[in-house]
Structure 1
Amino acid sequence: MPRVLTLTLNPALDLTVRADGWQPGTVNSGQELHLTAGGKGVNVASFLADWGLNVTATGLLGADNAEAFDSLFRAKPITDAFVRVPGQTRVGVKIVDHAAQETTDINLPGLRATPESLRELHACLDTLHADHDVFVLAGSLPPGVAPDFYAELIAELRGRGKYVALDTSGPALTAALNAEVLPQLVKPNQHELSAALGRELQTQAEILAAARELLERGAELVAVSQGEDGALFVSRTQTVQALPPRVQVVSTVGAGDAMVAGLVSAHLDGLKLTDAARRATSFSVGNITRLGAHLPPRDGLEGYAAQVTVTPL
């Protein structure tokens, strides 16, 4: 079975508080609280493990509060190849309002990466190259990591014949999309793509033109997520829009990561673009009906997939 490796340089403990109808600047009542292991690559690994794939998770992880990550990796199971570093992994606060169907995120900076920890991480990746077919580079870069880290790693991995998926934002995405070698799969949202390319992308035509520029430069699939409006999936031969069915939203945290996981699983199964878009969207829908980075059973995902509207463009 193919093996997938996810890289998370800036993981987070997600502290999710449900506070229906909360208002800023006042005292609010909360209904639930959950503390879970998170970070974009960790979430992708969790979804892929739920799907039944062999997954390894690596990156930089604070040694002082790693218990939630240890528990997640044992439960799924996910092969733990994280480099432990001194200190505590950052906490990301999520305020979930079921009444408004909204989630507010407060993201704190991560631990500063040292030259020693990055050397150890590179050594770890060198040992994992041969045993993994797909590499998912996901999430922000912590302090101490240069913006071109992903760009350099993508060139190295593609030079070794690996399939690379990228889901990041800010300077890291800008550097990766302006490099000579692009990943095969890029999954920004509309605003992230606009910022990375340095121009406004307001219309569907502008988004599609930007996606096709990336394809001309070496990408194979560009998926642009658009929230409730679904996502655009652009390959070199076809373009489709996928619209999700209406469901009761428990939390939107991890919906984009679920889409990445769906696209990776679709790549490994050799699905056509229409079916890949349907599966990726069903992963996102399945995730937002649950709290945390978890998928419903396969029959539930297949039910959601049947309700996804996929339109060729």
Structure 2
Amino acid sequence: MNTAASPVITVTLNPAIDETIFLDALHPGQVHRARTAQFDAGGKGVMVAGCLADWGQAVTATGLLGEGNDAVFKALFAAKGITDAFSRHPGLTRTNIKLVDPHETTDINLPGAEAPAALLQAVEHQVLHRADAQSPVVLAGSLPAGFPADTYAALISRLGARGMRTVLDTSGAPLREALAADRRPTVIKPNRAELEAWADKPLPEAADIVATARSLLGRGLEQVVVSMGADGALFITADATLHASLPAIRPASTVGAGDAMVAGIVAALSEAAAPDRMARLGAAFAYSKLGQIGPNLGTRSRVEALAAQVRVQALD
């Protein structure tokens, strides 16, 4: 692990325990007998932290956890050497259900518990106390019930005022608020549907996505990365627009592939990588995650091998 470098900080305000249930086939309305099941620590920022730790990056994970069922998170952090800076609240962290059959994954995401809003100050204290300008802060996922939609926007403003870089991966109202604020994130990573929702219009072609992303660069962001599933991803800065892709595979699960892409982006930021390297790492992290269940990445050598195989095309 690269312990000499400042740790990346991830913020997960609405984490989840992912219960993955493996089925021979999924038939709605029928009784099923599962082949097996497993429980993993989840939530977008937790997934990012797990992938970065597997890559060898020092990571501090912050956010909110229910103290009644945090054992799976403690085990993950201990196993991967992730610094646990979560604030606990009474009650339980939600459970999300993933139904995996040989052809696809069906997600059932439950609402989070109402965490005391006062605990947000404790999370902010942890982030502001631990963050520095050397490594980015990742803010990822949905917000707990009762939290204002501008929660991320406010934290990004405080971090930006201190010269800290932020990577935001959220959707809906929290994304709109963050993009409407005076001080915006350094990088955002929506998928196509999330960007379409923000733009309030379909974006059927790559050119439509690029034009919308460039309008955001004009608002102060440094980079917009748009994941497009089997169609790869677009990495858009003021100086370059790159399309990155790898051959399609049939994955065991697609859960967390977007989070792994965020981890790849952050890994590239941490090493001050050129745009081509960032596109390769982002795609390779996501591709490697497709064969993994839970907050896990393939080996570093495997990811580097995949990065070398990524097809990167510059778009006009």
Report the TM-score range of the alignment, normalised by the length of the smaller protein: over 0.9
Tell me the distance in 1 between the aligned counterparts of 2:134 and 2:67: 25
Retained in 2: the 8 A contact 1:174–1:197?
no
Q: Which of 272, 281, 286 is the equivalent residue of 2:283?
A: 281
2:125 maps to a residue whose letter is: A
Aligned position for 1:38: 42
Tell me the distance in 2 between the aligned counterparts of 1:203 and 1:246: 19
**Correspondence 1:16 to 2:20:** yes
Aligned 1:181-200 pairs, distance under 5 A: 181-200=183-202
How big is the shift at 1:216?
Answer: 1.1
Tell me the distance in 2 between the aligned counterparts of 1:170 and 1:80: 28
How big is the shift at 1:131?
Answer: 8.6
Tell me the distance in 2 between the aligned counterparts of 1:78 and 1:287: 19
Aligned position for 2:140: 138
1:7 maps to a residue whose letter is: V
Q: Which of 101, 104, 110 is the equivalent residue of 1:97?
A: 101
How big is the shift at 1:170?
Answer: 1.2
How big is the shift at 1:2?
Answer: 2.4
1:214 maps to a residue whose letter is: L
Tell me the distance in 1 between the aligned counterparts of 2:22 and 2:95: 16
Tell me the distance in 2 between the aligned counterparts of 1:310 and 1:130: 31
Retained in 1: the 8 A contact 2:133–2:165?
no
Aligned position for 1:229: 231
Aligned position for 1:81: 85
Retained in 1: the 8 A contact 2:136–2:269?
no
Tell me the distance in 2 between the aligned counterparts of 1:160 and 1:21: 51
Name the stretch that deviates more: 235-244 or 64-73: 235-244
| TM-score normalised per structure 1 | 0.96
Tell me the distance in 2 between the aligned counterparts of 1:268 and 1:45: 14
| TM-score normalised per structure 2 | 0.95
Name the stretch that deviates more: 4-13 or 127-136: 127-136
Retained in 1: the 8 A contact 2:124–2:155?
no
Tell me the distance in 1 between the aligned counterparts of 2:165 and 2:156: 9
Q: What do residues 237-284 of structure 1 show as CA deviations (whole Å, max 9, x unaligned)? A: 000111122334111111000000000111111221122111111101
Tell me the distance in 1 between the aligned counterparts of 2:155 and 2:32: 45
Aligned 1:1-313 pairs, distance under 5 A: 1-98=5-102, 100=103, 102-130=104-132, 133-313=135-315
2:280 maps to a residue whose letter is: R
How big is the shift at 1:115?
Answer: 3.1
Retained in 1: the 8 A contact 2:128–2:159?
no
1:169 maps to a residue whose letter is: S
Retained in 2: the 8 A contact 1:3–1:131?
no
- Report the aligned-residue RMSD: 1.4
1:129 maps to a residue whose letter is: A
Retained in 1: the 8 A contact 2:15–2:65?
yes
Name the stretch that deviates more: 22-31 or 51-60: 22-31
CA distance change for structure 1 residues 48 and 163 in 2, over 3 Å: closer, same or farther?
same
Q: What do residues 201-230 of structure 1 show as CA deviations (whole Å, max 9, x unaligned)? A: 222221111100111111111110001111
Q: What do residues 161-181 of structure 1 show as CA deviations (whole Å, max 9, x unaligned)? A: 111000001111111112222
Retained in 1: the 8 A contact 2:23–2:35?
yes
Tell me the distance in 2 between the aligned counterparts of 1:276 and 1:201: 24
How big is the shift at 1:119?
Answer: 2.6
Consecutive unaligned residues of structure 1, counting only runs of 5 or more, are none
Name the stretch that deviates more: 55-64 or 286-295: 286-295
1:312 maps to a residue whose letter is: A
How big is the shift at 1:74?
Answer: 0.2
Consecutive unaligned residues of structure 2, counting only runs of 5 or more, are none
1:265 maps to a residue whose letter is: A
Name the stretch that deviates more: 71-80 or 167-176: 167-176
Retained in 2: the 8 A contact 1:47–1:295?
yes
Tell me the distance in 1 between the aligned counterparts of 2:175 and 2:64: 19
CA distance change for structure 1 residues 237 and 132 in 2, over 3 Å: closer, same or farther?
closer
Tell me the distance in 1 between the aligned counterparts of 2:224 and 2:176: 15
Q: What do residues 26-73 of structure 1 show as CA deviations (whole Å, max 9, x unaligned)? A: 122322201000000000000111111110001010000000000000
Q: Secondary structure at the match of 2:78?
A: helix
Tell me the distance in 2 between the aligned counterparts of 1:310 and 1:33: 37
Q: Secondary structure at the match of 2:118?
A: helix
Tell me the distance in 2 between the aligned counterparts of 1:21 and 1:197: 37
Tell me the distance in 1 between the aligned counterparts of 2:175 and 2:43: 16
